């Protein structure tokens, strides 16, 4: 019997299968197979917060296959991802498959390579219950917050809303930044630049750096008037060499920040592509077939294995030269509180150069792999040497300064540019300075004053929001992408280009949460809760201890809020746009409907004008649609009547809508008398076809039918026969009769039913 290896994803299963051979069968659980029920809380808060897990709906076939394969296997290895979530998935798998708790069946690997996978299979361990408990506590805590707070929002704001523990904090961060921006009052300030030339003729721009504050035009003009017509004098020259060290290899957080900044990827896209690179890509026979290209991408450790360091150093010496190597391998210190179970994100095999496998990767895979490869290699290289020079100038007691730098030795910058070095390169007044001596006169070419205003803090981007969350210990790196996706999908936050902006709904929710549940949206409280969840894994706390301490205060706040807050006190202001209604001149506002967001006139129902917008809220220009014009005019205003499709079928509407609201349903005479009153039966249209039949005298005559009436009479009872298109049969609809015959038609009659 073969050994069975269970992983989460099919692509990971394919990669591992290629390493293990015919004696192993590798199958995927496709993620979690058990979870808390969706319809109920699923947690017994009175009984030590005991969770009630059920098999996830729709996973029955997967569970059935897993049980079948497990029963036939000689050994079972649970090889889910090497983190809390992966440990929990393995624990659920063990429970469903009946694997004892003391069975050594759990295998983990930081990278999906042949050596790493085979080594892990040789050393299975028992499932780490402390890791599982930590994950369960987080899941239960988030479930309690979500299921208890959502009804509060339904009652006091509107139905369909939901709240989350970390998502609420993330929304608050963006809302408060928006408040800062709106309340910001710009302050005026001035700069004065002097363009001067040396005896050699070389020019340079010097900036005023004196003690006088230039807060107005008058201050700038006063400075200008104090400058003498004489040339500037060199008072001091300062030169220095500065060594710049490379940035460490990526963690999950820094990868998301840098890929957002450099590649323009959204966090969800970053993690999806990183997962693909980790699980394996087919590189062809030249590179050994399917290969996992990077180490595990959910980590906040900066640790690098000795083998990976040596491989990087060998590549650097060979590709760039010995001078690009530091004297000893670089070791980066992981910050306090970080999880150090895995290495930093790095290439699994640094000798696989990005340019050599570009054709085997998608564009996203190549760009992200190159970013990870470049950052890791640079992190093991020698520092860059920068020569800096500053020239202090004087004019009638007013101090000016010209500064610049040159790169004496590129070091790691030959591979990877950090944000700081890129910014230096973009600064126009950095570069070579002329050679001058102290006391030398420099000729004044021009002196230019410039007005400026202080700017408000910038809106958050995904990168800057992730940095804030990480710096403040809110959430975990693996949760950042789903947090951002969730608050956008709930319309608490919207994207505008790369920036994240709060919506009126998000502002109302945040205000309500701050008033009623200050702890839930408090930065320090949320960060401390992360530490408490970590303490379960570290065995310094228990699941019940953490949850009990939280729930006691939360339950009291919930009871108070439910009894004191009323929907009458909560108003969601409309989100105004810059689009002007062409009918009444009002500024249109954003609304949410069953088909998504749209623009509507705020004067509804007096003005019913609406406009379509895209997912970013930008106006979608209407394309000209040719519509069928009726052979009759509007009975109210005399305008043309055009065919439209609506909720209840096709109809004619006046072209002057919304000024004129006259409509008339489109019908077709099918040439059959009404079975009840003898008048005409007409077919009513929906989406271009007849789909329903009624008497033309409706509602005076109540005859209606999904089946098409015919002129035939039933041979058994004499009543009208009907044609049912969906089954191609003619029937008598008298239940006592039951006459039915199958039709053989070259062409079916128009119409039918929706049965």
Q: 613 - beta bridge partners?
A: 619
Contact between 516 and 561 (Cβ < 8 Å): yes
In angstroms, the CA 523 to CA 468 distance is 10
**58's torsion region: left (phi>0), alpha (psi -120 to 50) or beta?**
left
- DSSP letters for 17-44: HHHH-TTEEEEE--S-SEE--SSS--EE
DSSP string, 305-365: -HHHHHHHHHHHHHHT-GGGS-SS----PPPTT---SSPPB-BSSTTS-GGGSGGGS-HHH
Three-state secondary structure along 392-438? EEEECCEEEEEEEEEEEECHHHHCCCCHHHHHHHHCCCCCCCCCCCC
Query: How far lies 183's CA from each of 169, 494, 503, in Å?
Result: 21, 20, 16
SS3 142: helix
Bridging pattern class, strands 667-673 and 663-665:
unpaired
SS3 call for 284: coil
Sheet-wide strand order for 596-600: 575-580, 587-593, 596-600, 610-612
With left for phi above 0 and alpha for psi between -120 and 50, is residue 700 left, alpha or beta? alpha
* Residue 739 falls in the annotated catalytic set: no
Q: Nearest to residue 579, comparing CAs of 624, 609, 608, 604?
A: 609
Among 24, 208, 278, 296, which one carries the catalytic annotation?
A: 296
Cα 175 from Cα 492, distance rounded (Å): 9
**Is residue 698 within 8 Å of residue 721, measured between CB atoms?**
no
- Cross-strand bridge partners of residue 231: none
Closest CA to 86 of 137, 34, 32, 20: 32
Terminal Cα-to-Cα distance of the chain (whole angstroms): 51
Q: Catalytic site residues?
A: 296
């Amino acid at each position: 019997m073969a050994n069975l290896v269970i992983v989460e994803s099919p692509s990971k299963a394919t990669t591992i299968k290629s390493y293990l051979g015919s004696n192993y069968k590798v199958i995927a659980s496709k993620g979690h197979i058990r979870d808390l029920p969706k319809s109920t809380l699923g947690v017994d808060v009175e009984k030590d917060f005991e969770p009630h897990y059920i098999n996830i709906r729709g996973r029955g076939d997967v569970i059935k296959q897993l049980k079948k394969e497990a029963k036939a296997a000689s050994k079972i290895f649970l090889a889910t991802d090497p983190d809390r979530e992966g440990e929990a998935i393995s624990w659920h798998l063990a429970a469903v498959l009946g694997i004892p708790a003391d069975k050594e069946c759990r295998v983990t690997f930081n990278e999906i390579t042949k050596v790493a996978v085979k080594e892990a299979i040789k050393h299975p361990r028992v499932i780490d219950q402390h890791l599982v408990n930590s994950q369960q506590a987080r899941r239960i805590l988030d479930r309690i917050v979500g299921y208890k707070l959502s009804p509060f929002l339904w009652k006091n704001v509107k139905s369909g809303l939901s709240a989350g523990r970390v998502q609420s904090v993330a929304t608050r961060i963006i809302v408060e930044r928006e408040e800062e921006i709106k309340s910001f009052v710009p302050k005026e300030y001035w700069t004065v630049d002097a363009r001067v030339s040396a005896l050699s003729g070389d020019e340079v721009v010097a900036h005023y750096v004196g003690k006088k504050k230039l807060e107005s035009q008058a201050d700038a003009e006063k400075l200008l008037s104090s400058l003498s017509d004489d040339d500037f004098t060199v008072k001091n020259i300062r030169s220095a060499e500065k060594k710049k060290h490379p940035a460490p290899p990526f963690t999950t957080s820094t990868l998301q920040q840098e890929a957002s900044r450099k590649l323009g990827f959204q966090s969800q896209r970053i993690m999806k592509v990183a997962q693909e690179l980790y699980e394996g890509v087919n590189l062809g026979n030249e590179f050994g077939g399917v290969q996992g290209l990077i180490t595990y991408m959910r980590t906040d450790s900066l640790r690098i294995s000795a083998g990976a360091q040596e491989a990087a150093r060998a590549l650097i010496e060979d590709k760039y030269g010995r001078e690009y190597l530091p004297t000893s391998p670089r070791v980066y210190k992981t910050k306090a509180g970080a999880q150090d179970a895995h290495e930093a994100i790095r290439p699994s095999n640094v000798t696989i150069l990005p340019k050599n496998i570009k054709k085997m990767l998608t564009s996203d895979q190549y760009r992200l792999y190159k970013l990870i490869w470049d950052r890791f290699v640079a992190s093991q290289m020698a520092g860059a040497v920068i020569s800096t020079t500053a020239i202090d100038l004087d004019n009638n007691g007013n101090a000016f300064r010209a500064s610049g730098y040159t790169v004496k030795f590129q070091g790691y910058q030959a591979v990877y540019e950090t944000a700081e070095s890129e910014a230096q390169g973009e600064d126009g007044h950095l570069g070579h300075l002329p050679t001058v001596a102290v006391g030398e006169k420099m000729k004044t070419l021009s002196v230019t004053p410039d007005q400026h205003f202080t700017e408000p803090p910038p809106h958050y981007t995904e990168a800057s929001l992730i940095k804030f969350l990480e710096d403040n210990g809110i959430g975990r790196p693996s949760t950042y992408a789903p947090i951002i996706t969730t608050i956008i999908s709930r319309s608490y936050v919207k994207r505008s280009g790369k920036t994240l902006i709060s919506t009126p709904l998000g502002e109302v929710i945040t205000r309500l949460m701050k008033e009623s549940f200050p702890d839930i949206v408090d930065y320090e409280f949320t960060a401390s809760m992360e530490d408490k969840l970590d303490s379960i894994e570290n065995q310094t706390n228990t699941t019940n201890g953490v949850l009990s301490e939280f729930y006691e205060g939360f339950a009291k706040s919930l009871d108070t809020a439910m009894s004191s807050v009323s929907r009458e006190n909560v108003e969601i202001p409309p989100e105004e746009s810059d689009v002007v209604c062409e009918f009444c001149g009002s500024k249109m506002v954003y609304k949410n409907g069953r088909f998504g967001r749209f623009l509507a006139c705020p004067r509804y129902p007096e003005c019913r004008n609406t406009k379509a917008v895209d997912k970013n809220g930008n106006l979608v220009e209407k394309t000209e649609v040719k519509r069928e014009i009726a052979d009759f005019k509007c009975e109210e205003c005399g305008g043309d009547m055009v065919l439209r499709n609506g909720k209840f079928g096709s109809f004619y509407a006046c072209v002057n809508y919304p000024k004129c609201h006259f409509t008339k349903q489109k019908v077709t005479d099918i040439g059959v008398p009404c079975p009840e009153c003898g008048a005409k039966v007409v077919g009513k249209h929906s989406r271009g076809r007849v789909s329903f039949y009624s008497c033309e005298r409706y509602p005076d005559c109540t005859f209606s039918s999904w089946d098409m009436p015919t002129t035939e009479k039933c041979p058994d009872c004499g009543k009208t026969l009907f044609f049912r298109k969906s089954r191609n049969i003619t029937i008598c609809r008298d239940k006592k009769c039951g006459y039915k015959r199958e039709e053989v038609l070259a062409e079916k009659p128009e119409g039918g039913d929706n049965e």
